[in-house]
Chain A
Amino acid sequence: MSNKVIHALYNDDDVLMDAVKQTRKAHHHIEEIYTPFPVHGLDKAMGLAPTRIAICAFLYGLTGLSFGTWLMNNIMIHDWPQDIGGKPSFSYIQNMPSFVPIMFEETVFFAAHLMVITFYMRSKLWPFKVAENPDVRTTDDHFLMEVAVNNNESELTSFLESTGAVEVKVIEKH
């Protein structure tokens, strides 16, 4: 069985949004959409699930807070509780105000960096990664919608042309 997809190119994001809505309504499966810039509301129109990256960031932040607390408690209170300038180091809570800047920064540091790394991993981005761009124009001024073909090639082609596509191509995928 051939593995065909159709690439429909648009040159306006409003036309693209309409096309996405029509395609979804006609129950054709959208494989992917390539745009040169974020199109507001595209994810909703495509019916994509909301991202959970904020939840990750919150948990990473808690990790950072715990790490900062553990670090300062271990170093300043348990390992070597010196008297430094009269600061009380008998228990963590006594000297806590001076640890807050560190705890705060650790929280932000962990939340921010681990979230970014999570983003890279989930979206499979890294240096030397081979670009997956199906058409160079999609990084400049064109929008590309990729729709799966299931033995309905001619019907689908004419349907996509009717949605305002400036170009419709049938592509054999490997």
Chain B
Amino acid sequence: MYTFSSKLKNLSLILMVLGALGIGVGFFTAPKNTKDVEAILAADSHGGHHAEAAHEAAPAHAAEAAHEATPAAHQEATPASDSTEEHVAEVSKDSNAVAAANVDSTVAKTEEHVAEELAKPSHEAEAKGHEVAEADEHAEHLTHVLHQLQNKPWAAFYVAALFFMLISLGVLAFYAIQHAAQAGWSPVLFRVMEAITAYLVPGAIIVYVVLVLSGLHLNHLFVWMDPAVVAEDKLLQGKQGYLNVPFFLIRAAIFMGGWIAYRHFSRKNGLALDQTNDLSYYKKNFKLSAGFLAFFLVSESMMSWDWIMSVDPHWFSTLFGWYVFASFVVSAVTVIALVTLYLKSRGYLEYVNNSHFHDLAKFMFGFSVFWTYLWFSQFMLIWYANIPEEVVYFKFRIEHYNLPFFGMVVMNFVFPILILINTDFKRVPWIISMAGLVILAGHYLDFHNMIYPATVGDQWFIGLSEISSIAFFAGLFIFVVFTALTKAPLLPKGNPLVEESKHFHY
């Protein structure tokens, strides 16, 4: 039996308390009205020059507004509200290919020239209404930034909540695969996996609460939940049959209920198998796992549309569900490896040997490459075809999230592929831990990059709110997982494959 070390328990409690404080401060310091925003913008590096700030922010605003108004409505609105030639040039550049942003100077000049020509006829007429339009736009811009800054602590909380809940879900899926595949190497790790999936219950409840609060309009994470936005947006009206709050919450409840039910019964059967040595429990778990995997495939895909893709309700991608799955399953395997390494180093897992770590590290390596494959497939197909309604998603990320967007590819692909390709390295605990921490950080960034651009826009920053949210959920995760580990012996004796697993070597 495992006993929760008091040091680790204190660490988790400290993380939770500090995290909760930081989250509270994040919510408390979020701007309340546009005046606060004006002060924040003035203090910004734009130099406090109001006209300049408004002007500089305009192109960014153009791209961000995509989630609040339809792209079509927005593109009509922009030229009317802004009359400077440069801005028109910006817009025409905006509609270009992502990579063409840093197009060579001759081309840029020609473009500017063309834009000038185009702008001339309307130029004089608009010059009169120029000042009025600018003031209007300034106010609109402030409201927009206000919403983004108010979203920031929510988004930080939501990303961390989702990330840790999905890790737990990924472990559950991996666990079900091990059962359904009748894997001979992994039964000695079953109790570790079961303990990690114990986080699914509190984790899912917290995510569900955030979804309900969003449905009650306490934040602007999901723009399609705002009736005022939907009223002006034909695209969102068209999606109302699927994207409406009651159906959304019912779906979420069904998905989470299904996952938690599988978790509950498989654990129960596993413990009963230990006590009775009755193989009918083993067979039950086998069937249950196969059924769960079918349910999981469908629910996971829809979950990714609901909870992640719908923050960008104008955008869609068909392989998104798989992409999200790859992201959290690699994190999940990494967490299994890290928890196992920790327990082994404390002398709790007698039968876990280098070969088990080797296998886990191989899965970390393989799923990292799988994630990259899906990331690249999604990115490259959209980049290649460059259809405006799809490409805005990546265009905005590359412009405003350049470092996290490409940095995560380095962390999630280049780093693991170079470190974990070596057979000897895959058996060295500190190398697995180091690679694991980089992979986890990289996949947190991945979820950050999925949620933030649509909710916080270019006002993102990985600061107090984000780090506190991570700390809070990390603390809660550690607390729940290691408490669950104390509830049952770490070796599932009754499993018919456990003998093979004990002597597993590669």
Chain A positions within 8 Å of B, measured between CB atoms, are 54, 58, 86-88, 90, 93-95, 97-98, 100
Count how many chain B residues have C-beta atoms less than 8 Å from C-beta atoms of the other chain.
14
Give every chain A residue within 8 A of B379 (Cβ-Cβ). Answer: 97
Judge whether B99 is part of the interface by a CB distance below 8 angstroms. Answer: yes
A134 to B445, CA, bound (A): 61
Beyond A86-B100, A94-B102, A97-B383, list 11 extra A-B contacts (CB 8 Å): A86-B97, A87-B97, A88-B99, A90-B103, A94-B99, A95-B99, A97-B379, A97-B380, A97-B384, A98-B384, A100-B376
> In the bound complex, do residue B380 and residue A90 qualify as a contact, i.e. CB atoms below 8 Å apart?
no
Judge whether B14 is part of the interface by a CB distance below 8 angstroms. Answer: no
Give, as a whole number of angstroms, the nearest-CB distance from A43 to chain B: 15
Give, as a whole number of angstroms, the nearest-CB distance from B254 to chain A: 38
Give every chain B residue within 8 A of A58 (Cβ-Cβ). Answer: 421
A90 to B380, CA, bound (A): 18
Judge whether B104 is part of the interface by a CB distance below 8 angstroms. Answer: yes
Give every chain B residue within 8 A of A88 (Cβ-Cβ). Answer: 97, 99-100, 103
> In the bound complex, do residue B384 and residue A94 qualify as a contact, i.e. CB atoms below 8 Å apart?
no
Give, as a whole number of angstroms, the nearest-CB distance from A65 to chain B: 12
Given A58-B421, A86-B386, is A94 in contact with B380 using a C-beta cutoff of 8 Å? no
Given A88-B97, A90-B104, is A100 in contact with B380 using a C-beta cutoff of 8 Å? yes
Query: Across the two chains, which residue of chain B brings its CB closest to A90?
Result: B104
A97 to B97, CA, bound (A): 13
Give every chain A residue within 8 A of B99 (Cβ-Cβ). Answer: 88, 93-95
Q: Indicate with 1 or 0, residue by residue over B21-37, a CB within 8 angstroms of chain A CB atoms.
A: 00000000000000000
Give, as a whole number of angstroms, the nearest-CB distance from A85 to chain B: 9
Give every chain B residue within 8 A of A95 (Cβ-Cβ). Answer: 99
> In the bound complex, do residue B97 and residue A98 qualify as a contact, i.e. CB atoms below 8 Å apart?
no
Give, as a whole number of angstroms, the nearest-CB distance from B152 to chain A: 31
Which of B99, B380, B386, B423 is most buried by chain A, counting CB atoms within 10 A of its CB? B99
**7 nearest A-B pairs in the assembled complex, by CB-CB distance:** A94-B99, A97-B380, A88-B99, A88-B100, A97-B383, A90-B104, A98-B384
Give every chain B residue within 8 A of A86 (Cβ-Cβ). Answer: 97, 100, 386
Give every chain B residue within 8 A of A97 (Cβ-Cβ). Answer: 376, 379-380, 383-384
Give, as a whole number of angstroms, the nearest-CB distance from A136 to chain B: 35
Give, as a whole number of angstroms, the nearest-CB distance from B177 to chain A: 26
Give every chain B residue within 8 A of A93 (Cβ-Cβ). Answer: 99
> In the bound complex, do residue A94 and residue B376 qualify as a contact, i.e. CB atoms below 8 Å apart?
no
Q: Indicate with 1 or 0, residue by residue over B161-175, a CB within 8 angstroms of chain A CB atoms.
A: 000000000000000
A109 to B379, CA, bound (A): 24
Give, as a whole number of angstroms, the nearest-CB distance from A33 to chain B: 22
A54 to B103, CA, bound (A): 42
Give, as a whole number of angstroms, the nearest-CB distance from B412 to chain A: 16
> In the bound complex, do residue B383 and residue A94 qualify as a contact, i.e. CB atoms below 8 Å apart?
no
A145 to B383, CA, bound (A): 61
Q: Enumerate 16 A-B pairs (CB-CB under 8 Å) in ascending A order.
A: A54-B423, A58-B421, A86-B97, A86-B100, A88-B100, A88-B103, A93-B99, A94-B102, A95-B99, A97-B376, A97-B379, A97-B380, A97-B384, A98-B380, A98-B384, A100-B380
Give every chain A residue within 8 A of B386 (Cβ-Cβ). Answer: 86
Give, as a whole number of angstroms, the nearest-CB distance from A66 to chain B: 16
Give, as a whole number of angstroms, the nearest-CB distance from A118 to chain B: 18
Interface positions of B from 360 to 379, Cβ below 8 Å from A: 376, 379
A86 to B386, CA, bound (A): 10
A54 to B421, CA, bound (A): 10
Given A86-B386, A100-B376, A100-B380, is A94 in contact with B100 using a C-beta cutoff of 8 Å? yes
Give every chain B residue within 8 A of A87 (Cβ-Cβ). Answer: 97
A135 to B384, CA, bound (A): 61
Q: Indicate with 1 or 0, residue by residue over B88-106, a CB within 8 angstroms of chain A CB atoms.
A: 0000000001011011100
Interface positions of B from 80 to 118, Cβ below 8 Å from A: 97, 99-100, 102-104
Give, as a whole number of angstroms, the nearest-CB distance from A167 to chain B: 33
Give, as a whole number of angstroms, the nearest-CB distance from B424 to chain A: 10
Give, as a whole number of angstroms, the nearest-CB distance from B72 to chain A: 22
A156 to B424, CA, bound (A): 38
Give every chain A residue within 8 A of B104 (Cβ-Cβ). Answer: 90
A58 to B423, CA, bound (A): 13
A87 to B96, CA, bound (A): 11
Query: Across the two chains, which residue of chain A brings its CB closest to B386?
Result: A86
A98 to B99, CA, bound (A): 12
Give, as a whole number of angstroms, the nearest-CB distance from A68 to chain B: 15
A90 to B101, CA, bound (A): 11
A93 to B380, CA, bound (A): 13
Give, as a whole number of angstroms, the nearest-CB distance from B376 to chain A: 7
Give every chain B residue within 8 A of A90 (Cβ-Cβ). Answer: 103-104
Give, as a whole number of angstroms, the nearest-CB distance from B435 to chain A: 17
A95 to B379, CA, bound (A): 13
Give every chain A residue within 8 A of B102 (Cβ-Cβ). Answer: 94
Query: Across the two chains, which residue of chain B brings its CB closest to A54?
Result: B423
A137 to B390, CA, bound (A): 66
A95 to B380, CA, bound (A): 10
Give every chain A residue within 8 A of B100 (Cβ-Cβ). Answer: 86, 88, 94
A90 to B104, CA, bound (A): 7
A163 to B103, CA, bound (A): 77
Give every chain A residue within 8 A of B423 (Cβ-Cβ). Answer: 54
Interface positions of B from 119 to 163, Cβ below 8 Å from A: none
Query: Across the two chains, which residue of chain B brings its CB closest to A93?
Result: B99
Give, as a whole number of angstroms, the nearest-CB distance from A8 to chain B: 29
Give every chain A residue within 8 A of B103 (Cβ-Cβ). Answer: 88, 90
Give every chain A residue within 8 A of B380 (Cβ-Cβ). Answer: 97-98, 100
A94 to B102, CA, bound (A): 9
A24 to B284, CA, bound (A): 50
Give every chain A residue within 8 A of B376 (Cβ-Cβ). Answer: 97, 100
